[in-house]
Amino acid sequence: MPELPEVETTRRGVAPYLQDHSVQALVVRQPRLRWPVPPELAGLIEGQPVRAVSRRGKYLLIDFDAGTVLVHLGMSGSLRLVPGEQLPGKHDHVDFLLDSGLALRLTDPRRFGAVLWQEAGTEHALLASLGPEPLSEAFDAPLLQQACKGRRSAIKLRIMDSKVVVGVGNIYANEALFAAGIDPQRAAGRISAPRLARLVAEIKQVLERAIAQGGTTLRDFVGGDGKPGYFKQELCVYGRGGDSCVCCGTVLKEIRLGQRSTVFCPRCQR
């Protein structure tokens, strides 16, 4: 599933080609995505210039004067810039045709993605409950300490809760907990303030490194330029259950936690 670094990589790749360009036409070949594409969307954005391209959690936000298009990539979706006349493939469901002759194309084999609308001056319900961005100053040690206080749930589940901090998905939660030396199963409320402060720092560093590498390509993800992400080569634990720890050589343990694959070093993480 594309996570925050993959969405940020996509944003950086497509933003220069969208901003200040007009959407000449919206082509919806398959409106039945995770939620239906609003039937009125074409009338709201056709002929209108894109004012900005931003990101909130795993949502790409394309701003117009009248409001904002929210795009979510779902489980295996991608956004790519292609020549407007390029014939669509089987899973190419939505095109934003630009005045430059390019098209921003949503490809979504599983159709778990979304293209939604948020009117200017409002906040979509999907964004309203999201916590702070992990790379912002709002996400700091005191905030995480307060979120973990008295909590018996596993720390990994706590940092993956989008109401606590948005966009820390499974891959990067595994990697940040390894870097911080914290057992992902440990009760959040039983971790000291200094260790939580280190975890905040490691979450930021892991995400920043992943963005610099263009994200992590495990199967389907490509960025806005069609190229894969290369952070997979730097993964220390995720996807490496049964392999040797890169730090101490201990066999990495793989378990299921919150229905997600969780890999950790039983010696380095406590």
* pLDDT tens readout for residues 55-110: 999 999 999 999 999 999 998 899 999 999 999 999 999 999 999 999 999 999 99
Give the domain-ending residue among 107, 128, 149. Answer: 128
* DSSP assignments along the chain, one per residue: ---HHHHHHHHHHHHHHHBT-BEEEEEES--BSSSBPPTTHHHHHTTPBB-EEEEETTEEEEE-SSEEEEEE-TTT-EEEEEETTSPP-TTEEEEEEETTSEEEEEE-TT---EEEEEETT---HHHHT----TTSTTS-HHHHHHHHTT--SBHHHHHT-TTTSTT--HHHHHHHHHHHT--TTSBGGGS-HHHHHHHHHHHHHHHHHHHHTT-B-SSS---TTSPPPBGGGG-SSTT-TTSB-TTT-PBPEEEEETTEEEEE-TTT--
151 marked ligand binding residue: yes
209 is in an annotated binding site: no
- Tell whether residue 11 is among the known ligand binding residues: no
Enzyme catalytic residues:
2-3, 58, 260
Q: What is the pLDDT of residues 144-202, one digit of tens each?
A: 999 999 999 999 999 999 999 999 999 999 999 999 999 999 999 999 999 999 999 99
Name which of 28-32, 34-38, 206-210 the model is least confident about. Answer: 206-210
pLDDT of 215 above 90: no
Q: Where among 99, 128, 157 does a domain terminate?
A: 128
Which of 128, 153, 175 represents a domain boundary (last residue)?
A: 128
Residue 77's domain is classified under what CATH number?
A: 3.20.190.10
Task: Give the mean pLDDT of the chain.
Answer: 93
pLDDT of residue 216: 55
What is the tally of structural domains in the chain? 2
Structural domain for 48, as ranges: 4-128
